[in-house]
């Protein structure tokens, strides 16, 4: 393995050991393997894609640090990831993961976490220690409920839980900064009123089993996209006309008759309604 020492660099190569180097990377993403870093400083944001057989020993990260480990078998993911406490972005998509390790709690700086397309049927308590999380993707797993402890992630702005097995959502859940919520393809028969106090701008609750929408929907003053496709709705509440910021209302594959469609469309003159 080649060695490079005491250099100021703007790129990274595989099969190299770097000692006391400083990196100001022109490209924010790096795909490397068999690369070792000793006492190195990364002066700009960096995302390492599919790093294999790499080591980070006493390194400093001045910018944001991300790892894209998607599609890597869980057995091949190196445990050192959880010892890099500066990680802000972690993509663990499609790893065949059945259980998220408790070591996740070490990543206190984490802002974005994707667990998309795994085999999770529960979440460890330690995930609720990630107080800086802004983005959480739990879609395409096997979750049957959303723990009330998610309320501890008070800075969450984007939450994706599509393609799970949710049948209901506790009213005790409160996410005061949530703007995007995706509940597409679950088994919800009742509208999740827990999120009525969230400043949502986008809500996708399509392909569930909803038979009605509550009048309290008027609280979604910031909502611009409302996807209710493929439910069992026959009408909408009169208060839907209070959503003056709504730009797109999707109602495909429901049971709404022509007269109902007419008043809904007339009530929202600045919104594109799709039946």
pLDDT tens readout for residues 197-234? 999 999 999 999 999 999 999 999 999 999 999 999 99
Residue 189: band (very low, low, confident or very high) from pLDDT cuts 50, 70, 90: very high
pLDDT at 6: 97
CATH of 2-220, one of 1.10.3720.10, 3.80.10.10, 3.40.50.300, 3.20.20.20: 3.80.10.10
Instruction: Say how many residues make up the chain.
Output: 275
Q: If you ran DSSP here, which 8-state letter would residue 267 be given?
A: H
- Are 34 and 46 in contact, with CB atoms under 8 Å apart? no
Average of per-residue pLDDT across 41-59: 94
Residue 91: band (very low, low, confident or very high) from pLDDT cuts 50, 70, 90: very high
Residues 114-167 have pLDDT tens digits of 999 999 999 999 999 999 999 999 999 999 999 999 999 999 999 999 999 999
Residues 70-81 have pLDDT tens digits of 998 888 877 778
φ, ψ of residue 152 in degrees (nearest 5): -65, -20
Residue 53: band (very low, low, confident or very high) from pLDDT cuts 50, 70, 90: confident
Distance, CA of 225 to CA of 200 (rounded, Å): 9
Task: Report pTM.
Answer: 0.94
The domain locations on the chain are 2-220
Distance, CA of 79 to CA of 86 (rounded, Å): 15
Determine whether 178 is exposed, middle or buried from the number of CB atoms within 10 Å of its CB (0-12, 13-18, 19+): buried
Distance, CA of 260 to CA of 9 (rounded, Å): 64
The two tokens of residue 98 are 């059945």
Buried b (16+ CB within 10 A) or exposed e, 105-115: bbbebbbbbbb
């Amino acid at each position: 393995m080649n060695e490079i020492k005491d250099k100021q660099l703007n790129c990274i190569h595989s099969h190299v050991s770097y000692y006391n180097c400083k990196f100001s990377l022109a490209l924010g993403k790096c795909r490397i393997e068999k690369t070792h870093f000793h006492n190195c400083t990364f002066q700009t944001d960096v995302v390492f894609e599919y790093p294999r057989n790499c080591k980070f020993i006493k390194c400093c990260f001045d910018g944001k640090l991300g790892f894209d480990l998607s599609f890597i078998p869980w057995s091949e993911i190196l445990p050192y990831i959880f010892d890099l406490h500066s990680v802000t972005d972690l993509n663990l998509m499609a790893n065949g993961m059945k259980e998220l390790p408790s070591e996740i709690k070490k990543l206190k700086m984490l802002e974005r976490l994707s667990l998309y397309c795994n085999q999770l049927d529960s979440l460890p308590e330690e995930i609720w220690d990630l107080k800086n999380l802004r983005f959480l993707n739990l879609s395409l797993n096997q979750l049957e409920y959303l723990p009330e402890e998610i309320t501890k992630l008070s800075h969450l702005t984007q939450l994706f839980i599509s393609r799970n097995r949710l049948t209901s959502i506790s009213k005790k859940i409160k996410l005061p900064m949530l703007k995007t919520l995706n509940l597409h393809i679950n088994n919800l028969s009742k509208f999740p009123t827990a999120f009525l106090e969230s400043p949502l701008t986008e809500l996708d609750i399509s392909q569930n089993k909803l038979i009605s929408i509550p009048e309290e929907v008027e609280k979604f003053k910031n909502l611009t996209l409302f996807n209710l496709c493929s439910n069992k709705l026959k009408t909408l509440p009169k208060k839907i006309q209070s959503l003056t910021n709504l730009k797109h209302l999707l109602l495909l594959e429901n049971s709404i008759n022509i007269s109902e469609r007419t008043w809904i469309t007339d009530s929202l003159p600045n919104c594109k309604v799709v039946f």
